[in-house]
Amino acid sequence: MATRIGLAGLAVMGQNLALNIAEKGFPISVYNRTTSKVDETVQRAKKEGNLPVYGFHDPESFVNSIQKPRVIIMLVKAGAPVDQTIKTLSAYMEEGDCIIDGGNEWYENTERREKAVAERGLLYLGMGVSGGEEGARNGPSLMPGGSYKAYEYIKDILLKVAAQVPGSGPCVTYIGKGGSGNFVKMVHNGIEYGDMQLIAEAYDVLKSVGKLSNRELHAVFSEWNKGELLSFLIEITADIFKIEDDKGDGYLVDKVLDKTGMKGTGKWTVQQAAELSVPAPTIEASLDARFISGLKEERVQAAKVFKESGLCGDILTDQEIDKKQLIEDVRRALYASKICSYAQGMNLVRAKSMEKGWGLKLGELARIWKGGCIIRAIFLDRIKQAYDRNPDLPNLLVDPEFAKEMVERQSAWRRVVSLAVDSGISMPGMTASLAYFDSYRRERLPANLVQAQRDYFGAHTYERADFDGSFHTEWFKIAKSKL
């Protein structure tokens, strides 16, 4: 009996997505170069309800077990392993079959592969899969881009497998042509980086200046997860603060080394923001924060140097803090800063969509991010409404509803950032977000001086605020002649 679909690559995401697909009633063939993973997946399928998962130890029998036109999802490491897997499987595939890459792939690699496999009559999709292990198993957010015909082949499966959000439907949509699916997933990850950094900074100021215990931090984040900050990342953060160390006293989070890893999608997002000249300071700050955290050994030495130079300790003030007020201020500052992170991500997607002619709809992206994915949050519903109200919204910050909320929160935001600056607590994400807000909302910025400087030393010319045209001034001669 032929299966409905195949999945190659049975690491954590692959195994869990295969079981999810089978559980939704679609018999699935699975294959993995390390065959023990195949057996492990089939065993799990039996244990989790005799799910229709059929394991194969060789690529040929794997491919031949799938009904035509065949659809095979790959969940292997981005880069060369994807090319290798395509080479192995396509040897047995036929015209009209389809390969889907579900990894965090660079979008141009997907566009290259789509063209390459088309020469053999094969269809190709690059599909972002977000939600981690739990999401893959019980409902991810899916971002397929590439061949629409291929999407039509598996739409029935994706609609069932994706996270289901009452009132707004399955968290999947056909994103667009080419590498648009991978690009949108990449930006999702960029927003995720920003979000995680902002939450870490909220934790830092509450713990370092507010002196909150882990128990109190758990209570605060749990409370925040009942209101406008309700989201997956706030929820897991509350959970993290209550987990005790199983290898010693105290809480596990306090034993985790402060050195961040990263697989690369956040870096790509920042590179693309620069390529597209789209300001994304919150996301950039989160990436730099990861880089600085990576300088752990240097920071240990630097702490000693500055201590010897008279700067004693982490925290520079021990002013009396009104804990209740601080908690509320941080909550407001975090919300406003997160909105900036999402605004920057949406602007990046739109800029790329215009450059590539993808025709992406930001409201639809907000919809499929409402469930399953790492950045799922209750305010995504209102982000969707903002873009539905005005698809050409220049920036989420100037949607009337969000603009009002930013104004209502900016005093608390400034109090938190000022307290952090006075206390020596680095808040790169929150300060970058506040600067983004303060720069974007001001009619006039000090860029006039930068223009004058550029024209002074480089004769790069400038425009005037009072009438049209391009101008150059002999600043040096005038300045010196006045001596």
Q: For CA atoms 230, 236, 240, 242, give the dihedral sign.
A: positive
What are the angstrom distances between the C-alpha of 373 and each of 57, 164, 186, 256, 440?
A: 32, 11, 12, 24, 29
- The active-site residue, picked from 23, 114, 177, 185, is 185
What the block records as the tokens of 363 is 């409201």
Residues 107-136 that bind ligand 6PG (CB under 6 A): 130-132
Q: What does the angle CA 475 – CA 481 – CA 483 come to, to the nearest 5 degrees?
A: 110
Of the pair 32, 104, the CB lying nearest ligand 6PG is at: 104
User: Per the annotation, does 79 bind a ligand?
Assistant: no
User: Per the annotation, does 225 bind a ligand?
Assistant: no
User: Per the annotation, does 32 bind a ligand?
Assistant: yes
Residue 185: active-site member: yes
CA-nearest of 368, 441, 432 to 398 is 441
Q: Is 90 in the site for ligand 6PG (CB under 6 A)?
A: no
User: Per the annotation, does 218 bind a ligand?
Assistant: no
Q: What does the angle CA 349 – CA 352 – CA 358 come to, to the nearest 5 degrees?
A: 95
SS3 assignment, position 146:
strand
Q: Is 104 in the site for ligand 6PG (CB under 6 A)?
A: yes
* Smallest distance, ligand 6PG to C-beta of residue 241, A: 20
Q: For CA atoms 220, 221, 225, 229, give the dihedral sign.
A: positive
User: Per the annotation, does 57 bind a ligand?
Assistant: no
Of the pair 73, 212, the CB lying nearest ligand 6PG is at: 73
Residues 142-201 that bind ligand 6PG (CB under 6 A): 189, 192
Binding residue for ligand 6PG (CB under 6 A) from 5, 209, 373, 396? 373
User: Per the annotation, does 76 bind a ligand?
Assistant: yes
Binding residue for ligand 6PG (CB under 6 A) from 65, 197, 265, 344? 265
Tell me if 318 sits within 8 A of 387, measured CB to CB. Answer: no
Beta bridge partners of 74: 8, 101
CA-nearest of 87, 76, 132, 79 to 106 is 79
* Smallest distance, ligand 6PG to C-beta of residue 260, A: 8
Binding residue for ligand 6PG (CB under 6 A) from 215, 263, 307, 404? 263
User: Per the annotation, does 9 bind a ligand?
Assistant: yes
User: Per the annotation, does 302 bind a ligand?
Assistant: no
Phi, psi values for residue 55, rounded to 5°: -95, 145
SS3 assignment, position 140:
coil
Name the residue number minimizing CB distance to ligand 6PG. 130
Residue 463: active-site member: no
Is residue 464 classed exposed, middle or buried when 0-12, 13-18 and 19+ CB atoms within 10 A define those classes? Answer: exposed
What the block records as the tokens of 399 is 């949607």
Residues 315-354 that bind ligand 6PG (CB under 6 A): none
Of the pair 130, 214, the CB lying nearest ligand 6PG is at: 130
Residues 233-262 that bind ligand 6PG (CB under 6 A): 261-262
- The active-site residue, picked from 192, 201, 228, 284, is 192
Count CA atoms closer than 13 A to 135's CA, side-chain side: 22
Tell me the Cα Rg of the chain: 26
Q: How remote is the C-alpha of 307 from its chain's centroid?
A: 37
* Smallest distance, ligand 6PG to C-beta of residue 133, A: 9
Of the pair 38, 165, the CB lying nearest ligand 6PG is at: 165
- Rounded Cα distance between 163 and 9, Å, is 21
* Smallest distance, ligand 6PG to C-beta of residue 482, A: 55
* Smallest distance, ligand 6PG to C-beta of residue 411, A: 33
Number of residues that bind ligand 6PG (CB under 6 A): 13
| Site for ligand 6PG, rule CB under 6 A | 104, 130-132, 189, 192, 261-263, 265-266, 373-374
Q: Residue ranges for the binding site for NADP(+)?
A: 9-14, 32-34, 76-78, 104
Could you give the residue numbers annotated as active site? 185, 192
